[in-house]
Chain A
């Protein structure tokens, strides 16, 4: 019975039955559960044929398409990745350019003169209450009369060479007047006196302003030697000021000074 049913169902599917047989089969499918099941499996079998045929046809066209346009189809991801990589490369290039640009700008903008100008702070004489006498040099210095300071220093003569305060103030007056060589000589004299006398009068001041004077005078190596010493000494009066000069700036000055 099942075999005959199957034959009839296939004929019904292929529409090769007579009209009367078609109606009888239709009724059987609707009323008989087993026939309906058979009918469903038969329909699924045909559906499988159709689906498989479409699948094969699409696969064949796909292969053809891949042959004609291999670059676009075989590696579709690469385009996306390429776009992403291209974007990343662009960003990296821009960043590199910015970093290189910033580096170049930094390198060319850092100079001994600029570091000097940024680090320089005016030296102010402390007010001493009840002080009996104020020397001419001190008086002139408080009034920021740099020429008078120098003139007063010169009138004192050789005796002033042992007075670190006078030497230092005269040196600062020269520094204010951009007379770097004279200023440097006087600051060096202060340091020499301290070595000789095992003293430290105006030692820190002479070191710091001596370093600035060397910077202003483009004696970079000497300036760096002094600044390095000050930066290493946390108890130095001018440690903070010297530390504000960046390491990179110092390195650039070293490179530039070494050329």
Chain B
């Protein structure tokens, strides 16, 4: 069992992250998935939205954007609600179901829309990483996500020495950046920001 503060600390620490994710599933999956199901979602919808909610939450905590302004449960529920509303908007253009859904929102609900902005871009992140290939994805993940040094990476991957890893990592990041540039959704977002 984690308190909210302990959970945030566990997510930040890295080595406790799996336990923290498991705890989130244990504590909140039932409630939040039931909420999706109660609002026209199917069981796969509920699972997917909850997974995306957890990913979004952890991403925000890691970036220091969750400052405990609400309880974890409230925050997760608000993210899930926004993600599902966003998904429904994407699926139906009529707006009828959205309207009915929105009327059920209570007044105390927090606004997390800023945190799930560029949801489509996030989904494109997964797509470009899929195109990159497993060796590069693994190398970049170890370096940028696991924060391993070149020396440590040599022990994890079949490369001769640190210099080979360094060169390989450079090429991989270059290739990924190129894929990101070529992705129309991501490029469009960057163009809007720089114009």
Could you list which residues of chain A lie within 8 angstroms of chain B, going by C-beta atoms? 6-7, 10, 33, 36-37, 40-42, 44-55, 57-62, 64-65, 69, 72-73, 75-77, 79-80
Contact = CB atoms under 8 A, between A and B. Distances in A.
Interface string B8-33: 00000000011001100110011001
B168 interface: no
B174 A61 contact: no
Interface stretch (B65-73, B82-90, B186-194): B186-194
6 contacts: A40-B194, A49-B145, A76-B29, A76-B43, A76-B46, A77-B37
A46 B170 contact: no
B21 A45 contact: no
A6 B129 CA distance: 20
B58 A54 contact: yes
Nearest to A6: B174
A76 B177 CA distance: 39
B58 to A, nearest CB: 5
Interface SS of chain B: helix, strand, loop or mixed? helix
Contact of A57 (B17, B37, B170, B173): B17
Nearest to B189: A44
Interface of B: 17-18, 21-22, 25-26, 29-30, 33-34, 37-38, 42-43, 46-47, 51, 54-55, 58-59, 62, 122, 125-126, 128-129, 137, 140-141, 144-146, 170, 173-174, 176-177, 179-181, 186, 190, 193-194
Contact of B22 (A45, A47, A65): A65
Contacts of B137: 49, 52
A112 B114 CA distance: 77
Given A40-B194, A44-B180, A44-B190, A61 B145 contact: no
A53 B122 CA distance: 12
Given A49-B176, A76-B30, A55 B21 contact: no
Contacts of A46: 140, 144, 173
A10 B170 contact: yes
Given A49-B144, A72-B30, A80 B38 contact: yes
Nearest to A9: B177
Contact of B141 (A7, A53, A64, A80): A53
Given A41-B181, A46-B144, A80-B34, 7 more contacts: A45-B176, A54-B58, A55-B55, A57-B18, A61-B22, A73-B25, A77-B42
B186 A44 contact: yes
Contact of A41 (B22, B37, B141, B180): B180
A63 B156 CA distance: 24
A190 to B, nearest CB: 72
Contacts of A44: 125, 180, 186, 190
A162 to B, nearest CB: 82
Nearest to A80: B34
A79 B25 contact: no
A51 B57 CA distance: 11
B121 to A, nearest CB: 8
A48 B178 CA distance: 13
Contacts of A55: 51, 55, 126
A65 B30 contact: no
